[in-house]
Amino acid sequence: MSSPQLPPDLAQQIYDGYQFQLRGRYEEAANCYRRVLRRLPKHADVMHLLAMVRARQGRTDEALALYGDAAALKPQDAKLWHNYGLALGGVERNAEAAAAFARALSLDPSLPEGLGMLFSARRAVCDWRDDDALRAGLARAGTPGQPEVPAFFTLWLDDPDVQLRAARQVVARRCAGITPRPLPAGRAPGRLRIGYVSADFRRHPTTHLLARLLELHDRERFEITAFSIGPDDGSDYRKRIERSVDRFVDCAADPTPEATAGRARALNIDVLVDLMGHTDGNRIEVFAHRGAPVQAAFLGYPGTTGAPFMDYVIADPAVLPLAEARTFAEKVAQLPDAYQPNDPTLAPGPRPTRADCGLPEEGVVFCAFNNLRKVDPDTFAIWMRLLSAVPGSVLWLIAGDAARANLVREAEARGIGAERLVFAPPLPLEEHLARLALADLFLDTFPYTAHTTASDALRMGVPLVTRTGRTFASRVAASLLHQVGLDDLVTADLRAFEAKAVALARDPAALGAAKARLDAARATSPLYDTARFARHMEAACETMVARFRAGLPPDAFAVEALPRG
């Protein structure tokens, strides 16, 4: 059914509404669209526009109802189905989102971002239909004639060249036509000013890692500003970030990225640090407008931004050797230890019992608490072979209902009963850390390995077996294991990964020795020495700014390690 034609006055209402929508004035946009729908209640295109606005406002139930009604009226509209999928995915109704994305792609295979969103939604519920074909589609990202793929989803490919192509394509589209304003020629002497930009200054893994670093920056030499481009969840984590910086600037309601960049310029920020990359909620356009003379990518995105205006990426020798810097648009600022900061002050809650968590009193507990999107059929097949090879063992996962059903089905197809899978509910961080200590061995994913989750496991004394590859994302767990002296748990291929995990699980003495080494290392490891990390980070920023002030272009460098002790 096609949408009815609009009389001129209603056409003007739609035009006005869309202009409001583009400027983030969502309630005014909604009022325009509602006026049209009062006279033409079955106009699918206006219902679609209003649904988009309501989704932006967080009025999810209304948005989904509007999308459903519009799709019934206009079932051949690929973009409508795609946006419907986005709204469903936003509330973790991923099985329904996958169906909507599949419908959209069937109507328009060239739909930008369509393949990536279908891949993500299916992976979220461990629906591995066409997984090889979807990954093959992701591998074509950034090549001529191929639809755009969200750069984030190329992290699931162990190919840094694909990641660079995809990121460049996204940046070229999003930042086309942006010409940054000239920066001030200089500023008065004083503390070096570092600004951190994120949408995740809230209850979020990035904040869990970052908060202590912000607190420990040397305030005699550095002035720290947080630019928040995301929502305020009212949590203690948000309040801690606000307390930990010299200045907290809430930019969530800024009308444009240029306005946010202008805030940074007005504060004479020397180094503007992007904590987002291509993750959800980013505003990479802020950096295209050049908010500071030096701009660096750090922590939140384990890959290249692909952006010509991002001067540096902060990494370490394990995740990004200088010899492999060609696959990054940024120059490499290499910290001497792990690139990932940690917070040793995070305290777990009371430790539960195995029974409290639905775990057997005896037997090896394999833990795989990574985001389920990281799990592929090959990895899961190895996990099932481990359960078969280690009698009495169980696999501990975090999964919603749809994913649980699919995982049980996949396990049973491989001869493993449902009782060998134990599903954990999401919990607040303190409770999650406490239960982690019940696991015997953490099993990693590939090529997108455990990052914050790996730090959490090591913090709680749980050894981790990982596999490393060619990309930053595939090497993070290896970087962390190196910091605690467990390099022998880093493997190079599927066969070696499986062999290492089986050997440890079958040999209580070897597993106990690995745990003892981890326990001994945690007290002295640089992974939890946040003060040391802060000094290295500050040295990196000073080097970047010194090059800029000397009139030199960005170039790769390694920060010299401070003496230990």
Contact 203, 237 (CB under 8 A): yes
Q: Which of 208, 266, 270, 272 is nearest to 240 (CA)?
A: 208
DSSP string, 274-329: ES-TTSTT--THHHHT--SSEEEE-SS-SS----TT--EEEE-TTTS-GGGGGG-S
Q: Is the pLDDT of residue 187 over 70?
A: no
Which secondary-structure segment (H or E) carries 253?
none
pLDDT at 398: 96
Predicted TM-score (pTM) of this structure: 0.95
Residues above pLDDT 90, as percent of the chain: 94
- For residue 189, name the pLDDT band (cuts at 50, 70, 90): confident
Measured CA to CA, the distance from residue 505 to residue 365 in angstroms comes to: 9
260 Ramachandran zone, left/alpha/beta (phi>0; psi -120 to 50)? alpha
CA distance 530 to 527: 8
Model confidence at 211: pLDDT above 90:
yes
Work out the average pLDDT over 9-32: 92
More confident residue, 449 or 189: 449
* pLDDT category of residue 486 using cuts at 50, 70 and 90: very high
192-334 placed in CATH 3.30.360.10: no
State which amino acid sits at residue 197: V
Q: Domain coordinates of the chain in residue numbers?
A: 8-174, 192-334, 355-526
According to the model, what pLDDT value does residue 6 have? 76
User: Per-residue pLDDT for 22 more than 90?
Assistant: no
Tens of pLDDT, residues 30-46: 999 999 999 999 999 99
Q: How much is the pLDDT for 24?
A: 83
Beta bridge partner(s), residue 366? 395, 441
**Above 50 in pLDDT, residue 1?**
no
Of 142, 77, 75, 87, residue with least CA distance to 115: 142
> Rounded to whole angstroms, how far apart are CA atoms 352 and 275?
34
Backbone angles phi, psi at 228, to 5 degrees: -95, 120
pLDDT band at 561 (very low <50, low <70, confident <90, very high): very high
Task: Report the C-alpha gap between 381 and 154 in whole angstroms.
Answer: 22
In one letter, which amino acid is 39?
R
Backbone φ and ψ for 33, nearest 5 degrees, come out as -65, -35
- Binned at pLDDT 50, 70 and 90, residue 182 comes out as confident
> What CATH fold (topology level) applies to the domain 355-526?
Rossmann fold (3.40.50)
- Provide the Cα torsion 359, 364, 370, 373; round to 10°: -90
Q: φ, ψ for residue 507 (rounded to 5)?
A: -125, 90
pLDDT one-digit tens code per residue, 328-381: 999 999 999 999 999 999 999 999 999 999 999 999 999 999 999 999 999 999
pLDDT digits (tens, 9 = 90+) for 78-132: 999 999 999 999 999 999 999 999 999 999 999 999 999 999 999 999 999 999 9
Rounded Cα distance, 353 and 362, in Å? 12
CB 275 within 8 A of CB 196: yes
pLDDT in tens, 427-437: 999 999 999 99
Specify whether the CB–CB gap between 421 and 408 falls below 8 A: yes
Beta-strand (E) ranges in 103-228? Answer: 192-198, 222-228
CATH number of this structure's domain 8-174: 1.25.40.10
- The structure tokens listed for 227 are 């630019």
Is the pLDDT confidence value at 462 over 80?
yes
**Could you report the per-residue pLDDT of 229-265, keeping only the tens digit for each?**
999 999 999 999 999 999 999 999 898 999 999 999 9
Q: What is the pLDDT of residue 329?
A: 98
Which H or E run includes 233?
none
Q: Are 85 and 72 in contact (CB under 8 A)?
A: no
How far apart CA 295 and CA 293 sit, in angstroms, is 7
CA distance 60 to 563: 53
Length of the chain: 565
Instruction: For residue range 282-316, list pLDDT tens digits in order.
Output: 999 999 999 999 999 999 999 999 999 999 999 99
| Structural Rg of the chain based on CA atoms | 25
Residue 483: pLDDT band by 50, 70, 90 thresholds? Answer: very high
DSSP string, 79-93: HHHHHHHHHHHHTT-
Q: With contact defined as beta carbons under 8 Å apart, do 464 and 454 qualify? A: yes
pLDDT at 2 (0 to 100): 46
Q: Determine how β-strand 394-398 pairs with β-strand 464-467.
A: unpaired
Is there a common fold for 192-334 and 355-526? Answer: yes
Q: What is the pLDDT of residue 181?
A: 81
Q: What are the two backbone dihedrals, phi and then psi, of residue 268, each rounded to the nearest 5 degrees?
A: 55, 45
